[in-house]
């Protein structure tokens, strides 16, 4: 079984202090065949945090590239250099500039906050219309799909992490039409999605498994071929975690291969 972890953070992300070698070694110890670092690069210049919290610094993509490429060259280790590009739809020119600045191996596009909103992890859901919030989120995800600047769309379920954490049970099946619209466009553009199996939102329950299975299968039925798996790991104990489950979900959804990326181009490894 070929296993990839293509959603890994380390010390250039604002929410991690982990060394790259520690993340790499942890992944290999867990039987991961290929790893790509995908540091947070939030494109929106307005802060996604309230005034009382520290402002998330503008990502130093030049410093990151120079550091991580030198580390790869001098260490001789085989891994990919990527980014998790956040809110590319909100700052399209900046997103395009960053993408064209270097020869990246892999790009995830994610949406961590909507326009003029705080990060979904910081919202107070009892005070919100949750149905409207999730539909508005999917509208912005569709914008990102239209931009087509990525290799895979990242953790499409992202707000559900925090909606669930605050005690709300959102029936995600109500949004099948919106999800199908997004996934069909991604498939038509020859791009992919990830099974993000983060411990923040996946607790090995049947419901969690069924969510990932539902939309992975829908993507395949709509013509999607490119799939990756990611732990969203920010520490050595989290990197590579639950990738076995993600790979089994791929199989159950009818996929025979997982995508391996270098220089933004996929090849296919049998799982």
pLDDT, one tens digit per residue, over 225-244 is: 999 999 999 999 999 999 99
Confidence band of 198 (pLDDT split at 50, 70, 90) = confident
Q: How far from chain centre, in Å, is Cα 31?
A: 21
Tell the burial category of 92 from Cβ atoms under 10 Å away from its Cβ (0-12, 13-18, 19+). middle
- The residue with greater pLDDT, 223 or 15, is 223
Confidence band of 266 (pLDDT split at 50, 70, 90) = very high
DSSP 204: S
In this structure, of 147-156, 186-195, 206-215, 225-234, the range with the lowest mean pLDDT score is 206-215
When divided into structural domains, the chain yields a total of 1
**Predicted pLDDT at 57:** 74
Confidence band of 169 (pLDDT split at 50, 70, 90) = confident
- The residue with greater pLDDT, 209 or 9, is 9
**How is 246-268 classified by DSSP, letter by letter?**
HHHHHHHTT--EEEEEETTEEEE
Both structure tokens of 34: 């290929």
- Once rounded to an integer, what is the mean pLDDT over residues 127-152? 97
**Predicted pLDDT at 221:** 98
CA distances, 157 to each of 55, 96, 141 (Å): 25, 25, 10
Other Cβ atoms closer than 10 A to 175: 19
Query: Please, what is the end-to-end C-alpha distance for the chain in angstroms?
Result: 5
Q: How far from chain centre, in Å, is Cα 225?
A: 17
* CATH code of the domain in which 210 resides: 3.20.20.140
Please determine, for residue 111, whether its predicted confidence score (pLDDT) is greater than 90.
yes
CA–CA separation, 135 vs 208, rounded Å?
A: 20
- Residue 241 near residue 199, CB atoms below 8 Å: yes
Q: What is the 3-state secondary structure (H, E, C) of 12-26?
A: CCCCCCCCHHHHHHH
Confidence band of 49 (pLDDT split at 50, 70, 90) = confident
Mean pLDDT of the chain: 94
- Give the domain range for residue 66: 4-270
């Amino acid at each position: 079984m070929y296993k990839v972890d293509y959603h890994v953070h380390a010390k250039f992300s604002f929410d991690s202090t982990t060394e790259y070698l520690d993340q790499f070694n942890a992944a290999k110890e867990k039987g991961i065949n290929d790893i790509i670092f995908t540091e947070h690069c939030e494109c929106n210049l307005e802060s996604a945090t309230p005034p009382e919290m520290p402002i998330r610094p503008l990502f130093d993509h030049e410093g990151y590239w120079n550091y991580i490429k030198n580390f790869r060259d001098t260490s001789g280790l085989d891994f990919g250099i990527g980014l998790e590009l956040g809110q590319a739809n909100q700052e399209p020119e900046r997103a395009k500039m960053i993408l064209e600045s270097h020869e990246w191996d892999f790009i995830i596009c994610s949406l961590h906050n909507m326009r003029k909103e705080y990060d979904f992890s910081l919202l107070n859901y009892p005070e919100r219309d949750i149905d409207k919030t999730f539909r508005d989120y999917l509208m912005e995800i569709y914008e990102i799909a239209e931009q087509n600047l990525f290799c895979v769309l990242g953790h499409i379920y992202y707000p559900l992490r925090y909606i669930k954490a605050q005690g709300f049970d959102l029936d995600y099946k109500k949004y099948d039409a919106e999800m199908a619209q997004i996934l069909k466009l991604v498939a038509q553009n020859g791009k992919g999605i990830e099974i993000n199996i983060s411990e923040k939102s996946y607790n090995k329950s049947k419901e969690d498994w069924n969510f990932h299975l539902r939309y992975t299968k829908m993507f395949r039925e709509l013509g999607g071929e490119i799939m990756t798996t990611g732990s969203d790991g920010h520490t050595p104990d989290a990197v590579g975690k639950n990738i076995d489950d993600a790979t089994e979900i791929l199989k159950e959804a009818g996929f025979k291969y997982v995508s391996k990326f270098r220089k933004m181009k996929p090849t296919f490894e049998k799982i």
